[in-house]
A and B are shown apart, each in its own frame.
Chain A
Amino acid sequence: DGGITQSPKYLFRKEGQNVTLSCEQNLNHDAMYWYRQDPGQGLRLIYYSQIVNDFQKGDIAEGYSVSREKKESFPLTVTSAQKNPTAFYLCASKTSGASGANVLTFGAGSRLTVL
């Protein structure tokens, strides 16, 4: 079945360490997104990519980095510069153009806890 796979599901990190969250999709979607979710704050956009080898900052990109070397993959690195990285991270994708009607498909999420 097609979908989005995020890994790991749970991750613990010590302060000062970089961590990378994986996001893989087999939906043949062009666009991929990373959101951060904190209690009571909804979803906030970190980075997005509409085509391979190109990505743009979202609303809260500071302390994060991404790459898009393959259409299927959009890993997110949480760097030591991110002051408050403990959160639930969601990866999403969608097809480009009007046919997709802007419907996002989400992965199951990765919960990062900084010790």
Chain B
Amino acid sequence: AQSVTQLGSHVSVSEGALVLLRCNYSSSVPPYLFWYVQYPNQGLQLLLKYTSAATLVKGINGFEAEFKKSETSFHLTKPSAHMSDAAEYFCAVSYNAGNMLTFGGGTRLMVKP
């Protein structure tokens, strides 16, 4: 069964600091990987996706993620945090285009002024 683990349910950074949100997946085949963002009392919005093209994926709002097969990881980064980045972030995995998505438990990002 596919699974995804997000390390750290809460991450706090200062405004302007590096954002690093961790995601590891279990897989025996190349996966599709996604990061979604959720602002309070809203639905999820796609940040970026990896579908076996370039290993470094750029998304919206300055975020990017790198697929590392050897580490089974897909960590999300942003060089400089902004107050508007405060939200919950979900990593998700599936193993083919028609397969169900499995979501991680989410990481709440807090940005301090």
Interchain CA distance A92-B100 in the complex, whole Å: 12
Which residues of chain A are near B99, meaning CB under 8 Å?
102
Query: Contact flags (1/0) for A28-62 with B, using CB distance below 8 Å?
Result: 00000000000011110100100000000000000
In the bound complex, do residue B43 and residue A97 qualify as a contact, i.e. CB atoms below 8 Å apart? no
Shortest C-beta distance, B83 to chain A (Å), equals: 22
Partner of B103, one of A43, A97, A100, A103: A43
Which residues of chain A are near B41, meaning CB under 8 Å?
88, 108-109, 111
Which residues of chain B are near A102, meaning CB under 8 Å?
32, 34, 94, 96-99, 101
Which residues of chain A are near B106, meaning CB under 8 Å?
40, 42
The interface size of chain A toward B, counting residues with CB under 8 Å, comes to 25
In the bound complex, do residue A45 and residue B100 qualify as a contact, i.e. CB atoms below 8 Å apart? yes
Query: Contact flags (1/0) for B79-113 with A, using CB distance below 8 Å?
Result: 00000000000100010111111011110000000
B46: Cβ under 8 A from any A Cβ: yes
How many A-B residue contacts, CB cutoff 8 Å?
58
Which residues of chain A are near B97, meaning CB under 8 Å?
97-102
Interface centre among B34, B51, B97, B106 (most CB of A within 10 A): B97
Interchain CA distance A45-B85 in the complex, whole Å: 26
Partner of A41, one of B43, B44, B105: B105
Interface residues of B in 32-72 (CB under 8 A from A): 32, 34, 36, 41-46, 49, 51
Closest 3 CB pairs of A and B: A106-B43, A98-B97, A42-B105
Q: Which residues of B contact A (CB under 8 A)?
A: 9, 32, 34, 36, 41-46, 49, 51, 90, 94, 96-101, 103-106
20 inter-chain pairs at a CB distance below 8 angstroms, sorted by A residue, are A6-B43, A40-B9, A40-B105, A40-B106, A43-B103, A48-B100, A92-B44, A99-B97, A101-B49, A102-B32, A102-B34, A102-B94, A102-B98, A103-B34, A104-B46, A104-B101, A106-B43, A108-B41, A108-B42, A108-B43
